[in-house]
Structure 1
């Protein structure tokens, strides 16, 4: 495992997951519910920024590694899954939306692993729709973790719920895209 700043940022993102979750379980005497929401959402945003930043630095400094390529998406999926499960428990997100998003992440991870074994990873490389899906998920989760109406007249919980529904639709769309791209291999035909 190469020890470089991009990989360290990925490890930091993984280590932030229990901090984000733990924030919501602190006693109210330590942090008020509003402070928990603000602190937890802020930690999640910071973790999401490290996701972008570690990839940027790895490409810029030519520090791409097989280990980093493995760890980065694992960190992303752990962060999203943990946050969604927390939001369901806090009654801020519907379980069926969380199941769609987490189920897609598992399915596409398995598809990418299988395609790598076949030597066809290019057919399931990250696409624009995948990046759009990730952005929508990060926004939705952040807004739902925040939960507080920070802008008068803007119902944060409703906005977060709408964003999560959009993220789930993009999740299904991106899954369809990746499955369509992998279909020749899944169907037993070789691509040109």
Structure 2
């Protein structure tokens, strides 16, 4: 009887692991190498295809969270994989954009304008650095039982939306892209970097308050 219950529990846990929200998260991770492959294909529609893949991946980011709440299928695996998939997707997209010569030489009417590489490297570095800092902060707060104090805020969601939009625009750009679209991508990326710093400061402030409370109780 005990063995049967044990087998049943194992089957139940496996079912939770392979639920729809988790499968969508895993699919998002699988899309990442496809994003890189299509971005570098020697065809005229390479950047368009990469952008479509990124849009699909971004949509699954919202969908898996919604389904996990709606179907009540939140799991520890999903809570771990979802932010990992997000950070991988954003980091890889930023690497592709920073390494792309398109964003250094932009055609403007009859001449080519040179844009220094740091112009796009700086906001990309800010975004990646912030993700590392906030991830480490959340791990630290989880250890003292205050993980909810640094949960995703409304400002963080706005930051993510602007960041995704900026990456979609810039991934689409290639040497034939209109200069206005390229600079729109730049502006969105800098705005995302600003929101990135702003939201990080809010998380640090909330974490500091919780740490001060814990220290006072000791």
Q: Same fold (TM over 0.5)?
A: yes
Alignment correspondent of 1:45: 55
**Bigger Rg over Cα:** 2
Matched, 1:83 2:98: no
The match for 1:94 among 110, 120, 125 is 120
Query: Does the aligned pair in 1 maintain the 2:39–2:49 contact within 8 Å?
Result: no
Alignment correspondent of 2:130: 104
Alignment of 1:65-76 (within 5 A): 65-76=75-86
Higher RCO (CA-CA < 8 Å; seq separation 6+): 1
Query: Does the aligned pair in 2 maintain the 1:149–1:156 contact within 8 Å?
Result: no
Distance (Å, rounded) in 2 between the aligned partners of 1:149 and 1:85? 18
Alignment of 1:139-154 (within 5 A): 139-147=165-173
Report deviation, 1:67.
Answer: 1.1
| Stretches of structure 2 lacking an aligned partner (at least 5 in a row) | 1-13, 104-118
Query: Does the aligned pair in 1 maintain the 2:149–2:210 contact within 8 Å?
Result: no
What SS is found at the alignment partner of 2:40?
Answer: coil
Matched, 1:132 2:173: no
Q: Which runs of 4+ in 1 moved over 3 A?
A: 148-151, 185-191
The number of equivalent residue pairs is 185
Report deviation, 1:87.
Answer: 0.4
Distance (Å, rounded) in 2 between the aligned partners of 1:52 and 1:98? 22
Distance (Å, rounded) in 2 between the aligned partners of 1:190 and 1:133? 33
